[in-house]
A and B are shown apart, each in its own frame.
Chain A
Amino acid sequence: MEAAFPFLTEGANAYKWTELAHDLQVEGALQAIARLSGDRLTETVAGPCPRCGDPITHTRIDNAVVLGAGILGDQPLDGETEPEQLTHTINVRCNCDKTQHPGAKPGRPGCGIVFSVSAWVEGS
């Protein structure tokens, strides 16, 4: 069975998806969490897609351990360079896999849209 929403390529990141996502967040249907554990920030978003309404889940880690240049490295590992933030913006791509949206490449989940949601930063 195919969904009524074709895979979107034009306007996939239009601001209206961010607005609709915020509305879903206000209604309590969409949950966005940014959990800080030590220096590691984990983003989690769960709820319906603002466009197709299919359930989506987004889990992403916003920290990478990278190699600094030189023997001493060029960036401290303590994360002291970033100011403490109360909210965190999460960019989410619809990845619903309930149905195959028309026009989507095989194996590519979602209806194509990308939106942003804000989350309070929780944890230490």
Chain B
Amino acid sequence: MSSPTPNRATVPASPPIPPRPPSAPSLPELANQEQFDKLVDESLDSTMASAEKWRNGLAGFVSILSTGLLLKGPDTVKDIASGWRYPLAACVGIGLLGVIVGLWFALGAAAGTPHLLTLPALLAEHESVRGYRVDTAAKLAESLKKARRAFAGGLAFLTVAAFSMWWLPDATSTAAPKVIVTSTAGDTTCGELKSAEGSEFKIQTKTRSTPVVVAFGDVVDVVIASICSP
């Protein structure tokens, strides 16, 4: 019977020392380092100042866009062919959602959320107060990046919607086709066909407020036309 192998304490190998730097720090290098340290200290303040400007700018954009869409939007959409209204509304909706989400992120970066923090918790997560300031500034910068992306995406949708209004078919161009009905009496009636039920045509002409009724038995000829000649 073999004796159990004794446990050998393993001595952790000390990590090798990295190579010696090839040169001493130069005076310009040290001066740059001192100036860079000031940038590190200013990280949070400068990022918060930038976030406030972004928030104000995006809020201005959103208010202008919203006002324009609320005031002019319904009238503009009425003129667009009904089949195009839903895609256009979706485009505007996504665009507005994008700019509002962008504003939300910018608002979050500028306003922040106050919360209780202890020094041990701060040190555990960020190692130092300066580290906390830099980490917080980096998070704010990340929020601002999301805000820019959301806003740019939203603006792209709104731009597509705005430009598409120029060439989308309007409501009149897709109106129902006209019919020209000739009766046995020799009268012709031209207008929009409202119905062909109950053995009679109901035709809406431009000159009357109520449809003209022509019985099937009185019809000699029916022609589809795109327009009614005056």
Chain A residues within CB distance 8 Å of chain B: 13-15, 17-19, 22, 25-26, 28, 35, 37-40, 42, 59-61, 63-67, 71-72, 77, 87, 89, 91, 93, 114-120
With A64-B36, A120-B18 known, 4 other A-B pairs at CB within 8 A are A63-B138, A65-B134, A87-B19, A91-B25
Picked from B24, B43, B128, the residue with its CB within 8 Å of the CB of A116 is B24
Contact (Cβ within 8 A) A64 B39: yes
Contact A37/B23 with A61-B134, A67-B46, A91-B33 known, Cβ cut-off 8 Å: no
Contact A61/B131 with A22-B20, A119-B18 known, Cβ cut-off 8 Å: yes
Q: What is the total of A-B residue contacts with beta carbons within 8 Å? A: 96
- Cα-based distance from A19 to B24 in the complex (angstroms): 9
Chief secondary structure at chain B's binding surface: helix
Using Cβ atoms and an 8 Å threshold, which residues of chain A touch B47? 65, 67
Is the CB of B1 closer than 8 A to any CB of chain A? no
Contact (Cβ within 8 A) B135 A77: no
Nearest CB in chain A to that of B128: its residue: A59
Using Cβ atoms and an 8 Å threshold, which residues of chain B touch A66? 39, 43, 46
Count of residues in B whose CB is under 8 Å from the partner chain = 38
Contact (Cβ within 8 A) A65 B24: no
Picked from B20, B39, B148, the residue with its CB within 8 Å of the CB of A118 is B20
Using Cβ atoms and an 8 Å threshold, which residues of chain A touch B24? 13-15, 17-18, 114-116
Chain B residues within CB distance 8 Å of chain A: 14-15, 17-21, 23-27, 29-30, 33, 36-37, 39-40, 42-44, 46-47, 50, 127-128, 130-131, 134-135, 137-138, 140-142, 145, 148
Contact A42/B17 with A64-B40, A91-B33 known, Cβ cut-off 8 Å: no
Contact (Cβ within 8 A) A67 B36: no
- Cα-based distance from A19 to B45 in the complex (angstroms): 39
B42 CB to closest chain A CB (Å) equals 8
- Cα-based distance from A93 to B148 in the complex (angstroms): 41
Picked from B25, B127, B141, B145, the residue with its CB within 8 Å of the CB of A13 is B25
Picked from B19, B44, B140, B148, the residue with its CB within 8 Å of the CB of A72 is B148
Contact (Cβ within 8 A) B20 A63: no
Contact (Cβ within 8 A) A64 B134: yes
- Cα-based distance from A92 to B30 in the complex (angstroms): 9
Contact (Cβ within 8 A) B43 A65: yes
Query: Would you mind naming 28 contact pairs between A and B with Cβ atoms under 8 Å apart?
Result: A13-B24, A13-B25, A13-B27, A15-B23, A15-B24, A22-B21, A26-B17, A40-B131, A40-B135, A40-B138, A61-B40, A61-B130, A61-B131, A63-B40, A63-B134, A63-B138, A64-B36, A65-B141, A67-B46, A67-B47, A71-B148, A89-B21, A93-B30, A114-B24, A116-B21, A118-B19, A120-B15, A120-B18
> In this complex, which of B17, B30, B135, B137 has the most chain A Cβ atoms within 10 angstroms of its Cβ?
B17
Contact (Cβ within 8 A) B25 A116: yes
- Cα-based distance from A120 to B17 in the complex (angstroms): 8
